[in-house]
Amino acid sequence: MISSKQLILENNEKRKLLTKENEDYYDNMLVYIRLNWKASEQQSEEILMELLDHLIEGQQDGKTAADIFGNDPKGYADELLGELPKETLKTRLPFFSYLIVYLISIFLSVRGIALLIGGFFKPVDTSVFILKSTLVTLYSLVAIAALIWFIFHIVEKSLFKQQSSNWKDALKAGLAGVISFGLGIALLFLIPNFGPSFSFGWLPSLASGALLWIGCFWAKKKFTIF
Amino acid sequence: MSVRSQLLKGVLDGCVLSIIEKETIYGYELSKKLQDAGLNDVSEGTIYPVLLRLQKNGYIRGEMRPSESGPNRKYYSLTDDGRSALNELALEWAHIAGPVSELMQRRRTDD
């Protein structure tokens, strides 16, 4: 079996053979199908490659993408998505776990470095309040997931349109980013320091972050997560 | 959608299966074969949702492998389940096709 990774690389090369008109048509379908994270990645890439091969061969006979796939690319892509097998949670789980641990490793490292640098200028409070930290971490993960979903949603809506207003979409995404980031900062200040706490200085923070990061790196190589 | 392509939609699965039964084939070839058989109204892209559905039902098996001309292609072959599904479809079709043709024929002679 040819891996989805290889198929993506091959797809990138082959797409260069398309005429401008056919490429526009095909690109919209490609992004639309890839954005649908419920569909099996392997099967999605295989069908995308088949469509591309077909289009390239048809193009040589003077056919356009609309001649081959019809005048309703979104409807056609929806029909394909309806028949594509679903990705199971089990195959998605390693990727999501990886992502979460990776984010935490980055956060711990950045925190360690910030504490170290901040310490040169003024005494810093390194205590961690377990309940508050858990709440803020949970919020961050949910906010990031929501932000990614929102951006996917914006991109999805911009597809298959004659002209889409890019600056409006960028503004929406930027605004969502600012709001969710601001809310996170607000939480940090509004939730009082309460409950059990422990001191967590720059060194253990940076060291645990770096360790987790190395762990992520190793797991990614070992289990070829993506 | 034209009346003809609506009619075709129901029997396209059977048409695709019957072609794959004869030979292992990839998408572009398959669409050519359908057109050669006289089904010009089937827009070429229609076969891909059909191929996905038949794969999902386990009637055909798709395998990516290098073609003679070089690039990798996904070749489809019939499974045992696909063969029995095709047998059943062919039987059902024979039951319907005869009476329907006769009714349509009679209509013309009554005029």
Q: How many residues does chain B have?
A: 111
Higher pLDDT, A25 or B70: A25
For testing contact with chain B, the best of A5, A10, A47, A72 (most B CBs within 10 A): A47
Question: What interface predicted TM-score (ipTM) does this complex get?
Answer: 0.85
Instruction: Dump pLDDT digits (tens) for A155-204.
Output: 998 898 877 678 899 999 999 999 999 999 999 899 998 889 999 999 99
Instruction: Dump pLDDT digits (tens) for B31-71.
Output: 999 999 988 777 889 999 999 999 999 999 999 887 776 67
Partner residue opposite A84 with nearest CB, options B27, B45, B52: B52
Per-residue DSSP letter, B63: E
Do A76 and B45 make contact, defined as CB atoms within 8 angstroms?
yes
Partner residue opposite B28 with nearest CB, options A53, A76, A80: A53
To the nearest whole angstrom, how far is the Cα of A27 from the nearest Cα of chain B? 16
Q: What is the per-residue pLDDT for A50?
A: 95
Q: Which structural domain, as residue segments, surrounds residue B67?
A: 3-110
A104–B contact, CB cutoff 8 A: no
Per-residue DSSP letter, B46: G
pTM: 0.83
Phi, psi (rounded to 5 degrees) for A149: -60, -45
**End-to-end alpha carbon distance in chain B:** 29
What is the domain-level CATH number for residue B31?
1.10.10.10
Q: Is A30 exposed, middle or buried (0-12, 13-18, 19+ CB in 10 A)?
A: buried
Domain boundaries, chain A: 4-83, 89-223
To the nearest whole angstrom, how far is the Cα of A96 from the nearest Cα of chain B? 26
Instruction: Dump pLDDT digits (tens) for A51-85.
Output: 999 999 999 999 999 999 999 999 999 999 999 99
Partner residue opposite A46 with nearest CB, options B31, B44, B74: B74
